[in-house]
Structure formats: structure tokens, C-alpha cells
Amino acid sequence: MSNPSWLKRELSAGLQALVALGLKNQPAAEVLSLTADIWLRAIRRGNIGCDIEQIDAPRIREAFDRLFPELVEWPAPKLLLDRIPPRPKREALAEPVGDDAVGQAAIKEILSKLL
């Protein structure tokens, strides 16, 4: 499973903001890189669908924004996962226009030319 650079950037920005809060039980500076790796693994394995930057980067930022006001101590990755909003709904495709019989006739014509 790959770890896209955009996801690493979003996670790093969120974790830096957490560090700036100076929370109780904050990891030591020497292990922040390892902490970021663990959070990245948690997000990738959290089954929340984070693989499309244009859709998912704003969701990660929103989750951190939801998390910040609640904290008094360093959070577990699960708290972030619980706050990631769902992906936006996709617009449904329009119903096909036209007569199915016409389409079937066109397919038969094409097949007859190929054979």
C-alpha cells in the first residue's frame, strides 16, 4: 500500500499543529517522526478511503479542525479517524436517453459488419 506524498503533508501539518498546542502526554521531539509514521499507517488502514488528494485532503484537514478544540492531551489516531467526514456524494448519472430497440439494432449492424 503506497503512502502518497500529499497524505504525508496533510498529516504532518496536522501533527505540527498538535505539537504547537503543547498538549499533555505529547511525544518527545525525538520520536515525532516515528509518531507521524504510525499515524500515517493508522489512516491508511482505517478503511476511510484516503487515496484521492482533491477529495480526501480537505477531509483530513477538516478532521484535524474538528479535533483541535476538544483536546487537553495528545490524542490517539482513532480520535482523528472518528472525525474524518464522509466523502461527498457523487452525482448520479442521468438515465440513458433513447430507445433500447434502436441501440440493439445499432449493435447488430456493427456486429454484422465485423463478422
- Over the stretch 53-111, which tens digit does the pLDDT of each residue have? 999 999 999 999 999 999 999 999 999 999 999 988 888 877 776 677 777 888 899 99
Residues 109, 98: Cα–Cα separation, whole Å: 17
Q: Is the pLDDT of residue 2 over 60?
A: no
- Over the stretch 18-63, which tens digit does the pLDDT of each residue have? 999 999 999 999 999 999 999 999 988 876 777 789 999 999 999 9
- The single-letter DSSP state of residue 98 is S
Residues 109, 63: Cα–Cα separation, whole Å: 54
Question: 72 Cβ partners below 8 Å, 6+ apart?
Answer: 23, 24
